[in-house]
């Protein structure tokens, strides 16, 4: 071997040695790092290095991923930016920033042993700091280290005379209530350590004190909470929001938890003989002698409608009577800056509103399903650009509404802004822009902080706003209405509680078809059997245009084509809703094009009183079938298959018929009747 060969060999050997030392090997790279056990298995990291008392682990390390998966936590990170966001199963966020040792846990700042550092497409994180934020702590067990799930938070909140105690942990809680008595709860959590203080007092609440005792072993710890109720209080364990939480409510013994809320005399009347100042809370409902009169009565959640039904608000999730109306409980008219007229409307509950600007200097806003608890009012302000202000109760007993109307001195600037418990309308002298909005809709009232729906421009003039305006491509006077029963065939739509969306939509559609034919319309259905219709032409077209998901678009476009090619006058797509929360319920009317909005509103006004569902209002949404149809089109989500009350309704043929009848009535009020008798078509 000559000298040059020796040199080459040496260089190659040195390079190989360097490369081998640089490649992380499972397990081997953990030399110096403790053996970590979690939930009975050892976490194997590709590369974990002790650093300043913590453990440096990269975001893509399989050991870290396994740990997070077991906790139901999610890590979001992308190269090229500096934030790492970890979301715990109970939706707390832990935020690290590359290059900064401080991090936040649910918004609270803490400091890690070292600053996370970028490393290629990863960031190296302080593992133990992250684990602690997820309520998992490292506990020595002989020569090894156990990652012990812990009870990490104990929330004690007193609200409405009740004290709610919530325990939060890293993992789903297994609890036993050994040795409990009516005024003292002792609950043991198996497999959970604790990071809580040994004793906590809660003076002034329905709980006297809480003691925490930890036992068991590092691998199978137990934590026992003993909660002493205040004198005269008793407790009830209630379902927690997530499996890793445990909630118990303490309240005065004389009031049974879950008793009906105090009944109200409808409507809630804040001022029978006068006009209260804006912001004054509505008068509390009269209390029923007995259970309801006690302090700590179950309170109506913000944002829910007061019930008019005898006996009070039905329990959440139970079949419910139709939601009662909201009430206008105050009107305050003031002079604002620059001579602006500011009108504040106080509402007792969320209410849908719609406003219109007419071409003759009139402007009005209607609050639907709302009663006026004040006398009607006429004002002639001595300032600003408003000649008169009027407020009246309008509508019918079944569908009350409240109208506030202005006569202005020209096309003035009028701003509508939802407030915490109502609506503020400001009228300013201004040169009106050419594209001034002429109608808008939204929702306001307690619990409706921000209206989603922006004002929409409308070309429809004057008092004819609610009349049908022919759409481009839709023949004026067309006698054809297209009904689109959502989903079908292999596409079941949503399915919960034994109900399948495609079957319900088809049932309602068939009932609606009969009603519309009786009105004299020619009715076409996008499907009249259990199929998901699609045309070969659409499949070919969508595959040719190079856009993604050609099949999905071909199926939806086929439904649109049924209406577009027929120059239909109206398009009605029927669906059934679902939500990840059981509390969501009611009927929603989705629209997309400006010409859809008044149709959606007409359907809303007709359907809700008949169907008896909660009015979730009209909403603007870019849904395919209402976007790509050329005539007024509405997608109705009739009810939720995930809410017990709505499910009970959806199981009743009478409800499906009422829904169809409501839609038919809405069609009639929006488009009138066809010019001549019609025949049914398929």
Tokens of 249: 């409510």
- Mask of contacts with another protein, 124-163, x by CB under 8 A? ----------------------------------------
What is the x/- site pattern for another protein, positions 560-599, by CB under 8 A?
A: ---------------xxxxxxx-xx-x-x-x---------
Report 286-305 residues binding another protein (CB under 8 A).
Answer: 301, 303
- Binding-site member from 607, 620, 645, 660 for another protein (CB under 8 A): 620
Binding residues among 501-530 for another protein as defined by CB under 8 A: 501
What values do phi and psi take at 273, rounded to 5? -110, 5
Contact set for another protein, span 42-61 (CB under 8 A): none
* Interface with another protein (CB under 8 A), residue from 491, 537, 540, 673: 491
> What DSSP character marks residue 319?
-
Residue found under tokens 């992250």? 130
Candidate segments 69-77, 123-131, 197-205, 252-260, binder of another protein by CB under 8 A? 69-77
User: Is residue 204 near another protein by the rule CB under 8 A?
Assistant: no
Q: How far is CA 552 from CA 244, 556, 557, in A?
A: 38, 6, 9
603, 664 contact by CB (below 8 A): no
Distances (CA, A) of 418 to 272, 275, 402, 432: 25, 21, 16, 22
- Residues binding another protein: number (CB under 8 A): 82
CB of 549 to another protein, least distance (A): 4
Q: Enter the tokens of residue 187.
A: 């609950």
Interface residue with another protein among 265, 382, 396, 450 (CB under 8 A) is 450
| Minimum separation from the CB atom of position 539 to another protein (A) | 13
Asked whether position 433 contacts another protein by CB under 8 A, the answer is no
Cβ closest to another protein, residue 346 vs residue 516: 346
Contact between 454 and another protein by CB under 8 A: the answer reads yes
From candidates 209, 241, 378, 463, binder to another protein by CB under 8 A: 241
Closer residue to another protein in complex, CB, 132/487? 487
Task: Return the residue of 552, 652, 672, 677 that touches another protein, per CB under 8 A.
Answer: 552
Minimal distance in Å, beta carbon 74 to another protein? 5
Q: Does 75 bind another protein (CB under 8 A)?
A: yes
Task: Find the shortest distance in angstroms from Cβ 32 to another protein.
Answer: 30
> Which CB atom, from 252 or from 418, has the smaller least distance to another protein?
418
Binding test (CB under 8 A) with another protein, winner from 70, 200, 541, 627: 627
With CB under 8 A as the contact rule, the residue among 548, 653, 676, 682 that binds another protein is: 548
Check binding of 323 to another protein (CB under 8 A): no
* Candidate list 617, 645, 666, 674; residue touching another protein; CB under 8 A: 617
In whole angstroms, what is the distance from residue 634 CA to residue 570 CA?
8
Q: Which residues contact 229 (CB under 8 A, 6 or more apart)?
A: 182, 183, 184, 185, 206, 207, 208, 235, 250
- Rounded to 5 degrees, what are φ and ψ at 67? -60, -45
Go through 469-495 and write b for each residue having 16 or more CB atoms within 10 A of its CB, e for each that does not.
bebeebeeebbbbbbbbbbbeeeebbe
Beta strands in 202-274 (DSSP E): 207-216, 221-229, 233-238, 245-252
Using CA atoms, how far apart are residues 201 and 575, in angstroms rounded to an integer?
A: 52
For residues 36, 38, 42 and 46, what is the CA-based torsion angle, rounded to 10 degrees?
A: -70
Which residues within the stretch 360-399 sit at the binding site for another protein (CB under 8 A)?
none
* Position among 357, 487, 527, 569 found at the interface with another protein (CB under 8 A): 487
DSSP 3-state of 9: helix
Instruction: Determine, following the binding rule CB under 8 A, whether residue 357 of this chain makes contact with another protein.
Output: no
Which one of 163, 268, 307, 494 is in contact with another protein (CB under 8 A)? Answer: 494
Residue 242 or 429 having the CB closest to another protein: 242
Contact between residue 278 and residue 331 where contact means Cβ atoms under 8 Å apart: yes
| CA-angle at 647, arms to 643 and 648, nearest 5° | 125
**186 vs 541 by CB, closer to another protein:** 541
Are the C-beta atoms of 333 and 624 separated by less than 8 Å?
A: no
- The distance of closest approach from Cβ of residue 13 to another protein in the complex, given in angstroms and rounded to an integer, is 41
Angle between helices 536-544 and 550-565 (to 10 degrees): 130
Region near another protein per CB under 8 A, out of 135-143, 285-293, 311-319, 622-630: 622-630
* Interaction of residue 443 with another protein, rule CB under 8 A: yes
Question: At closest approach, how far in Å is the CB of 307 from another protein?
Answer: 16
Residue 105, classed as helix, strand or coil, is strand
Least distance to another protein, CB of residue 315, Å: 17
- What Cα–Cα distance (Å) separates residue 317 from each residue in 582, 583, 644, 645, 658? 7, 6, 5, 5, 21
DSSP 464: G
Ramachandran category for residue 563: left, alpha or beta (phi over 0 → left; psi -120 to 50 → alpha): alpha
Q: Under the criterion CB under 8 A, does residue 22 sit at the interface with another protein?
A: no
Residues 79 to 118 in contact with another protein, rule: CB under 8 A: 80-83, 85, 87, 89-93, 95-100, 102-104, 106-107, 109
Stretch that binds another protein, among 309-317, 511-519, 564-572, 615-623 (CB under 8 A): 615-623
Q: Which residues between 629 and 648 bind another protein (CB under 8 A)? A: 635, 637, 640-641
Q: How far is the CB of 241 from another protein (least distance, A)?
A: 6
Q: How far is CA 639 from each of CA 24, 29, 576, 621, 652, rounded to the nearest angstrom?
A: 55, 56, 6, 17, 12
Please give the angle made by the CA atoms of 42, 48 and 50, to the nearest 5 degrees: 110
Residue 622 sits in the site that holds another protein (CB under 8 A):
yes
* Half-sphere exposure of residue 613: CA atoms within 13 angstroms, side-chain side: 35
Which residue stretch of 223-231, 337-345, 475-483, 614-622 sits at the interface with another protein (rule: CB under 8 A)? 614-622
- CA dist., res. 105 & res. 170, Å (int): 14
């Amino acid at each position: 071997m000559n000298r040059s060969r020796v040199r080459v060999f040496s260089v190659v050997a040195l390079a190989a040695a360097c490369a081998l030392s640089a490649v992380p090997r499972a397990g081997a790279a953990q030399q110096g790092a403790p053996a970590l056990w979690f939930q009975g298995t050892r976490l194997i990291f590709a590369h974990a290095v002790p650093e300043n008392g913590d453990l440096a682990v990269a975001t893509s390390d399989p050991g870290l991923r396994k740990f997070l998966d077991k906790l139901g936590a999610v890590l979001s990170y992308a190269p090229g930016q500096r934030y790492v966001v970890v979301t715990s199963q109970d939706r707390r966020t832990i935020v690290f920033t590359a290059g900064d040792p401080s991090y936040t846990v649910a918004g609270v700042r803490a400091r890690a042993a070292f600053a996370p550092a970028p490393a290629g497409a990863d960031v190296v994180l302080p593992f133990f700091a992250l684990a602690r934020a997820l309520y998992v702590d490292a506990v020595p067990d002989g020569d090894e280290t156990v990652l012990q799930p812990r009870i990490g938070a104990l929330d004690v909140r007193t609200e409405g005379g009740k004290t709610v105690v919530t325990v939060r942990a890293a993992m789903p809680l297994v609890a036993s209530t050994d040795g409990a008595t009516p005024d003292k709860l002792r609950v043991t959590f198996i497999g959970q350590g604790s990071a809580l203080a040994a004793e906590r007092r809660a003076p002034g609440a329905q709980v006297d004190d809480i003691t925490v005792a930890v036992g068991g072993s590092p691998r199978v710890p137990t934590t026992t909470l003993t909660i002493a109720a205040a004198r005269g209080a008793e407790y009830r364990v209630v379902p927690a929001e997530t499996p890793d939480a445990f909630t118990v409510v303490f309240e005065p013994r004389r009031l049974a938890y879950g008793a009906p809320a105090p009944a109200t005399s409808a409507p809630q009347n804040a001022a029978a003989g006068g006009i209260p100042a804006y912001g004054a809370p509505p008068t509390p409902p009269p209390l029923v002698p007995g259970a309801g009169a006690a302090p700590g009565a179950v309170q109506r959640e913000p944002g829910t409608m007061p019930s008019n039904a005898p006996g009070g608000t039905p329990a959440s999730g139970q079949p419910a009577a139709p939601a009662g109306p909201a009430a206008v409980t105050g009107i305050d008219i003031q002079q604002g800056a620059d001579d602006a007229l500011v009108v504040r409307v106080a509402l007792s509950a969320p209410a849908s509103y719609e406003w219109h600007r007419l071409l003759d200097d009139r402007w009005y806003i209607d609050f639907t399903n709302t009663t006026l608890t004040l006398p009607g009012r006429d004002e002639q302000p001595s300032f600003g650009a408003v000649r008169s202000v009027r407020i009246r109760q309008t509508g019918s007993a079944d569908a009350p509404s409240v109208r506030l109307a202005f006569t202005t001195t020209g096309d003035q600037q009028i701003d509508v802004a939802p407030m915490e418990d109502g609506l503020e309308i400001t009228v300013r002298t201004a040169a009106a822009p050419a594209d001034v909005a002429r109608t808008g809709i939204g929702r306001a009232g307690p619990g409706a902080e921000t209206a989603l729906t922006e004002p929409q421009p409308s070309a429809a003039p004057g008092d004819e706003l609610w009349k049908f305006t022919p759409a481009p491509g839709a023949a004026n006077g067309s006698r054809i209405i297209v009904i689109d029963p959502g989903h079908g065939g292999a596409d079941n739509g949503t399915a919960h509680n034994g109900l399948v969306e495609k079957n319900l939509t088809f049932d309602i559609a068939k009932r609606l078809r009969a009603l519309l034919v009786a009105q004299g319309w020619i009715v076409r259905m996008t499907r009249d059997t259990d199929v998901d219709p699609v045309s070969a032409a659409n499949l070919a077209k969508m595959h040719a245009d190079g856009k993604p998901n050609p099949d999905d678009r071909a199926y939806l476009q086929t439904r649109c084509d049924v209406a577009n090619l027929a120059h239909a006058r109206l398009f009605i797509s029927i669906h059934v809703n679902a939500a990840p929360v059981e509390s969501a319920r009611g009927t929603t009317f989705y629209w997309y094009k400006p010409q859809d909005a008044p149709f959606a509103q007409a359907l809303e006004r007709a359907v809700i009183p008949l169907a008896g569902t909660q009015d979730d209002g009209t909403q603007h949404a870019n849904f395919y079938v209402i976007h790509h149809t050329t005539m007024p089109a509405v997608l109705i989500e009739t009810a939720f298959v995930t809410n017990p009350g709505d499910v009970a309704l959806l199981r009743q043929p009478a409800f499906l018929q009422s829904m169809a009848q409501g839609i038919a009535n809405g069609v009639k009020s929006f488009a009138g009747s066809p010019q001549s008798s019609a025949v049914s078509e398929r």
